[in-house]
Amino acid sequence: MHSNGIHEYSITNLNRVDGVNTITVNPSGGFTETLGPLPNPYFGPINYTTNRAGSNYNGFTSFVRKQFSAGFSFQVALTLQKTIDLMSTVPGQQKGAEYSVVVDAYNVAAQRAVSSQDVPKQLSFNGLWQIPTYGITSPLAKTILGGWQISALGTLVGGLPQSVYTTAPQNDFNLDGNNYDFPDVPSFGKTIKGISRSRFLGGVFTASQFPLPVQANGVPTGVEGNLGRNTFRGPGFAQTDAALAKNTHIPWFPGEGADFQVRLDLFNAFNRVNLQNWDTNLADGTFGKALGASQARTLQVGAKLTF
């Protein structure tokens, strides 16, 4: 499958230009950034809506479905895909991609990279076993032992792309007055593979490993860092949910009878720790660490009467 999006909306403050601000080194230490001439000096931020963004998607999905005579059926689906865009947001954010941060307001095309929603591999599966009652002739035994079913569904998803950036006011590398900037490429490159969950908890990397485009005295050079957007991937996600249910037909219920079901659901049945909220802001003390986790194993018991 292939799709190509053109003329997608973007909303960006265009009343700023790279390199127009000036830096004054203070005699007592540190420096001060002074706002330079703006394209329109009579206004502050001017959010301008344009259709200059775009995206590209290529994907392949395959699935296997099988039903056995013993009451068992399953389905497995595998999706391989790649999404590239100029600006995007991670799933769950309230604002859409058109409000995404733009580092260079006049060169959005320089942000072309994998989308924040890009999932290169996803494996999903589900299965159902209606436990048979072969050889049972006793009505009472069949009522007790029959009607049981076990089901499960699960998904395994790779981590979402994230950008390493900084919002520290002193790190306005391109001197445009917007405090969202990229550092330079670290010595280990733009990717790290095989990151364990313990590393995400302890810190995948440290801020000192990322060189900054600044002079020896810490003053920004006026040039954006070359690391780029969405170069690293956060923690993956894997979860299996299962259920055990007992269905019983009640023939003496008024009318045509009724069906009574008792059900036990297990969400995240294997209690896997799915980490989230990976901090990639160099300005934070928790940089490089995952700060939360998804739902732990949860049990739910319910009953349903259908008539």
Domain ranges for the chain: 57-90+114-306
Rounded to the nearest integer, the mean pLDDT of the chain is 89
* Residue of 268 and 177 predicted with greater confidence: 268
The residue-averaged pLDDT of 280-295 equals: 95
Length of the chain: 307
For residue 62, give the nearest of 116, 118, 125, 2 by alpha carbon: 125
Per-residue pLDDT at 156 exceeds 90:
yes
Per-residue pLDDT of 3-36, as tens digits, reads 999 988 888 898 998 888 888 888 877 788 888 8
pLDDT at residue 96, rounded to an integer:
67
Whether the pLDDT of residue 161 is over 90: the answer is yes
pLDDT (0 to 100) of residue 93: 57
The CA distance from 61 to 57, in Å, is: 13
For the stretch 246-263, pLDDT in tens is 988 888 777 777 888 999
Using CA atoms in the order 74, 80, 85, 89, what is the torsion angle rounded to 10 degrees?
A: 40
State what percent of residues in the chain have pLDDT above 70. Answer: 97
The alpha carbons of the chain give a radius of gyration, in whole angstroms, of 28
pLDDT surpassing 60 at residue 277 = yes
Asked if residue 298 has pLDDT above 60, the reply is yes
Q: CB neighbours of 280 closer than 8 A, spacing ≥ 6?
A: 162, 163, 164, 165, 232, 287, 288
**Averaged pLDDT, 257-280:** 93
- Read off the pLDDT of residues 129-148 as tens digits, 9 standing for 90 and up: 998 877 777 777 777 778 89
Report yes or no: 213 and 228 within 8 Å, Cβ to Cβ.
no
Provide the b/e sequence for 144-161 (b: ≥16 CB within 10 Å).
Answer: eebbebebbebeebbbbb
Assess whether pLDDT exceeds 70 at residue 235.
Answer: yes
Residue 290 is predicted with a pLDDT of: 95
Per-residue pLDDT band at 167 (split at 50, 70, 90): very high
| Overall average pLDDT of the 273-299 stretch | 95
Element (H, E) at 304: strand 298-306
Nearest to 229 by CA among 53, 8, 58, 61: 53
Q: Which residues make beta-bridge pairs with 10?
A: 50
Burial zone of 184 (CB within 10 Å; 0-12 exposed, 13-18 middle, 19+ buried)? middle
Q: Identify the pLDDT of residue 231.
A: 94
232 forms beta bridges with 162
Whether pLDDT at 99 is above 60:
yes
Per-residue pLDDT averaged across 301-306, rounded? 90
- What per-residue confidence (pLDDT) applies to 92? 57
Q: pLDDT > 90: what percent of the chain?
A: 56
In this prediction, residues 178-193 reach a mean pLDDT of 92
- Measure Cα distances from 138 to 25, 108, 135, 146 in Å: 93, 74, 9, 11
Q: How many CB atoms lie within 10 A of CB 248?
A: 13
Q: What is the pLDDT of residue 90?
A: 67
64-93, pLDDT tens digit by residue? 999 988 789 999 999 999 999 998 876 655
The predicted pLDDT at position 239 comes to 97
Which sign does the torsion angle of CA 272, 207, 94, 123 carry? negative
Q: What is the pLDDT of residue 237?
A: 94
